[in-house]
C-alpha cells in the first residue's frame, strides 16, 4: 500500500531510544552505559552491573551496599510458590517451569500493579532480580528430586545461586571460588543486549501497562527458542553429537548446504558481523575453568576445531558468521555440573536485569506508546458469506 515500511524481522527499524547498551556489530563492540563488556566481565560484581543497567552509573560504595540490601531483602519466595513447582512433571523443561512460575509471581505482589509509580517499579525490579536465582535453583532441585534450598544472604549473588543449586542438606557444601567467578562472568555476559527478541517482547508486553512479572514471563518464553537463548543448549548438544574433531568438517559442510536446514548453533548473529566480544571472554573462561578444575572435555577440542574450520571457510567469511555468546558457554556450564536443560534458564536469570532496566526505561520515556506494528495485508478481498449447506 506504500503507507508503511515493510520490515520483516525488524532488520532496519529502531523501535525505541535507549541509553542502556551500545553495540557496534561491524567492530564487535559492546558497551553497557559506556563501559566495555570485557572490563565489566573481568572486574565487576554482578550486582554492580545490575545497578549500572538500572540506574545509569556504577554505584558508589554506599549505593552498592544499599542496592545489595534491597536485593537480598527479596531473595525468598512465598512458601505458596513451591506448590507451583509440584504441579509440574519432574521431567518438565526448566524454561517451561520458569515461564509459568515467574508469571505466577504477578498473583503475589498486588502493589506492583501500579506501574506509574517509579518506587513500585523499582521494588518490582528488585524482586525480579532477587527471586530469579531462587526460582531457577528450585526448578533444578525439583527436576533432580532434591529438597529446595533457601537463599543465603551472606553469599554473593552467584555464590548464593550455586549454593541453592548444588548444596544438599546432608552434606557440607562450599562454593568453589573458581566456579563462582566463572558463573559471575557468564551472568555479566548475558545481562543485557539491547533490543533482541526477548527484550523487545518484554517492552511490547509492558507497553500496554501489563504487570511486570507477566512481562518478564513473556520475555522468558521468547528467550527459550533455539534461534535465541535456546542456542546455548543446542550448541552443546551439537558439539557432543559431533563428538570428535575428525567429524567437524562434515557438520560444517552440512551447515553450508542450502538443502539441509542444519545450522551451526552458537554461530552467526543479527547484529555482529565480527567476533562477538562476549564469545571471546567466554572462550577464555572455558579454557581457564576446565584447566583449573582439571577437567578434560573432548567437546572443547571439537569447539576449537569447529571455530578454526568455520573461520577459514569462504561461506562463513563471506556471510560474516562468527561464534556468538552461546558457542562456548555450554562447555563451562557443563563443567560446573549443570544439565543442558538448565542452560537457557541461567540465561533468563541473568537477562532479567536487562529486561527490568529496559522495561523501566520504556515506562519512564515520555514518548512511550503502546507498541502496535502495522502489516501489509495480503489475504482475500471482500466476499459474501455463503451458508454452510450451500458451500
Which residues bind to ligand CMC, rule: CB under 6 A?
Answer: 9, 196, 227-229, 231, 255, 263-270, 319, 321, 324-326
Instruction: Show the cell assigned to 308.
Output: 578454526
In terms of Cβ atoms closer than 10 Å to its own Cβ (0-12, 13-18, 19+), residue 133 is buried
Q: Which is nearer to ligand CMC, 128 or 189 (CB)?
A: 189
Contact 41, 25 (CB under 8 A): no
Q: How far apart are CA 277 and CA 28, in angstroms?
A: 6
Helix (H, G, I), strand (E, B) or coil at 78: coil
Q: What is the smallest separation between the CB atom of 363 and ligand CMC, expressed in angstroms?
A: 24
Q: What is the smallest separation between the CB atom of 319 and ligand CMC, expressed in angstroms?
A: 4
In terms of Cβ atoms closer than 10 Å to its own Cβ (0-12, 13-18, 19+), residue 25 is middle
- Which of the residues 126, 269, 297, 308 is marked catalytic? 269
- Which of the residues 313, 326, 384, 390 is marked catalytic? 326
Q: Which is nearer to ligand CMC, 165 or 196 (CB)?
A: 196
Q: Which is nearer to ligand CMC, 211 or 352 (CB)?
A: 352
Helix (H, G, I), strand (E, B) or coil at 292: helix
Q: What is the smallest separation between the CB atom of 269 and ligand CMC, expressed in angstroms?
A: 5
Q: 149: how many CB neighbours lie within 10 A of its CB?
A: 19
What DSSP element (H or E) covers 372? none
Q: Which is nearer to ligand CMC, 163 or 200 (CB)?
A: 200
Q: Which is nearer to ligand CMC, 94 or 229 (CB)?
A: 229
384 labelled catalytic: no
Q: Could you tell me which of 298, 74, 284 has the C-alpha nearest to residue 185?
A: 284
297 labelled catalytic: no
Q: What is the smallest separation between the CB atom of 268 and ligand CMC, expressed in angstroms?
A: 2
Q: How far apart are CA 127 and CA 104, in angstroms?
A: 13
Q: What is the smallest separation between the CB atom of 203 and ligand CMC, expressed in angstroms?
A: 16
DSSP per residue, 28-43: TEEEETTEEHHHHHHH
Q: How far apart are CA 222 and CA 346, in angstroms?
A: 14
Q: What is the smallest separation between the CB atom of 381 and ligand CMC, expressed in angstroms?
A: 32
Task: Give the ranges where the chain is alpha helix by DSSP (H).
Answer: 37-43, 46-55, 61-72, 81-86, 94-105, 118-144, 157-166, 177-189, 197-206, 212-223, 231-242, 248-256, 277-292, 298-311, 314-318, 326-336, 343-364
Q: Which is nearer to ligand CMC, 32 or 126 (CB)?
A: 32
- Measured from each CB, the residue nearest to ligand CMC is 268
Which pairs count as long-range contacts for 248-256, CB under 8 Å and 24+ apart, including other chains? Answer: 248/302, 248/305, 248/306, 248/309, 249/309, 251/306, 252/306, 252/309, 252/310, 252/313, 255/310, 255/315, 256/313, 256/315
Q: Which is nearer to ligand CMC, 71 or 279 (CB)?
A: 279
Helix (H, G, I), strand (E, B) or coil at 328: helix
Q: What is the smallest separation between the CB atom of 355 and ligand CMC, expressed in angstroms?
A: 13
Hey, which residues are catalytic here? 269, 326
Amino acid at each position: 500500500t506504500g503507507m508503511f515500511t515493510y520490515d520483516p524481522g525488524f532488520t532496519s527499524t529502531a523501535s525505541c531510544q535507549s541509553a542502556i547498551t551500545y553495540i557496534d556489530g561491524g567492530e564487535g563492540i559492546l558497551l553497557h552505559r559506556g563501559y566495555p563488556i570485557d572490563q565489566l566481565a573481568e572486574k565487576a560484581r554482578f550486582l554492580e552491573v545490575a545497578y549500572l543497567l538500572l540506574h545509569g552509573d556504577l554505584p558508589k560504595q554506599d549505593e552498592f551496599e544499599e542496592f545489595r540490601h534491597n536485593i537480598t531483602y527479596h531473595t525468598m519466595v512465598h512458601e505458596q510458590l513451591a506448590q507451583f513447582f509440584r504441579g509440574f512433571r519432574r521431567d518438565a523443561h526448566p524454561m517451561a517451569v520458569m515461564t509459568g512460575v515467574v508469571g505466577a509471581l504477578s498473583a503475589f505482589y498486588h502493589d506492583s500493579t501500579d506501574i506509574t509509580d517509579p518506587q513500585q517499579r523499582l521494588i518490582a525490579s528488585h524482586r525480579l532480580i532477587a527471586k530469579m536465582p531462587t526460582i531457577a535453583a528450585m526448578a533444578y532441585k525439583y527436576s533432580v528430586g532434591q529438597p529446595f534450598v533457601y537463599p543465603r544472604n551472606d553469599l554473593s549473588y552467584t555464590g548464593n545461586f550455586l549454593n541453592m543449586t548444588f548444596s544438599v542438606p546432608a552434606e557440607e557444601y562450599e562454593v568453589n571460588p573458581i566456579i563462582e567467578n566463572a558463573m559471575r562472568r557468564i551472568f555479566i555476559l548475558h545481562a543485557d543486549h539491547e533490543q533482541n527478541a526477548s527484550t523487545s517482547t518484554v517492552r511490547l508486553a509492558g507497553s500496554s501497562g501489563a504487570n511486570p512479572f507477566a512481562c518478564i514471563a513473556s520475555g522468558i518464553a521468547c528467550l527459550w527458542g533455539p534461534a535465541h537463548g535456546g542456542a546455548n543448549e543446542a550448541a552443546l548438544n551439537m558439539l557432543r553429537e559431533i563428538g570428535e574433531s575428525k567429524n567437524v568438517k562434515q557438520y560444517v559442510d552440512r551447515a553450508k548446504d542450502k538443502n539441509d536446514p542444519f545450522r551451526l548453533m552458537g554461530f552467526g548473529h543479527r547484529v555482529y558481523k565480527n567476533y562477538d566480544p562476549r564469545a571471546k571472554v567466554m572462550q577464555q573462561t572455558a579454557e581457564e575453568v576446565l584447566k583449573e578444575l582439571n577437567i578434560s572435555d573432548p567437546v572443547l577440542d571439537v569447539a576449537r576445531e569447529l571455530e578454526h574450520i568455520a573461520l577459514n571457510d569462504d561461506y562463513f567469511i563471506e556471510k560474516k558468521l562468527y561464534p556468538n555468546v552461546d558457542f562456548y558457554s555450554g562447555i563451562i556450564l557443563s563443567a560446573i555440573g549443570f544439565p543442558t536443560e538448565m542452560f537457557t534458564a541461567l540465561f533468563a536469570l541473568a537477562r532479567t536485569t536487562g529486561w527490568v532496566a529496559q522495561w523501566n526505561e520504556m515506562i519512564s520515556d515520555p514518548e512511550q506508546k503502546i507498541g502496535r506494528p502495522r502489516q501489509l495485508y495480503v489475504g482475500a478481498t471482500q466476499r459474501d458469506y455463503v451458508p454452510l449447506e450451500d458451500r
